[in-house]
Amino acid sequence: MTVEGLKALESLNEFRLTDSEEQKAMEVFGFMANEAEELRSIDTENVDVMVHCMPMTNVFREDVREQPFTREALLEGAPEHSEDSWIVPRLVK
């Protein structure tokens, strides 16, 4: 990251950094660049590609349609209800 690049990011994201904040940001970007370079230097020729660092398996259940509540039980929770529906206050005139 260059100072010009940092200024471009400031302009793009519509914020301004103080001189000390710019210096700290440049240190952070420099550190990240060094870390990335160090990672690129590692030989990964014989390493399998991984999505997760640990083996993961998904356990899927059968998608079965069921009705866990009865209409009567649901209507009991309503402050006001008709024979088969909740009655709610009108929100739009």
Q: Looking at residue 42, what is its pLDDT?
A: 93
Q: Which two tokens stand for residue 61?
A: 């259940």
Reported pTM: 0.46
**pLDDT digits (tens), the chain, 93 positions:** 888 999 999 999 998 999 999 999 999 999 999 999 999 999 999 988 888 888 888 888 888 898 889 888 888 888 898 888 999 888 888
Residues 29, 6 contacting (CB under 8 angstroms): yes
Q: Looking at residue 16, what is its pLDDT?
A: 92
Scan for tokens 């259940």, then name that residue. Answer: 61
Whether the CA torsion 24, 3, 11, 29 is positive or negative: it is negative
Q: Looking at residue 33, what is its pLDDT?
A: 94
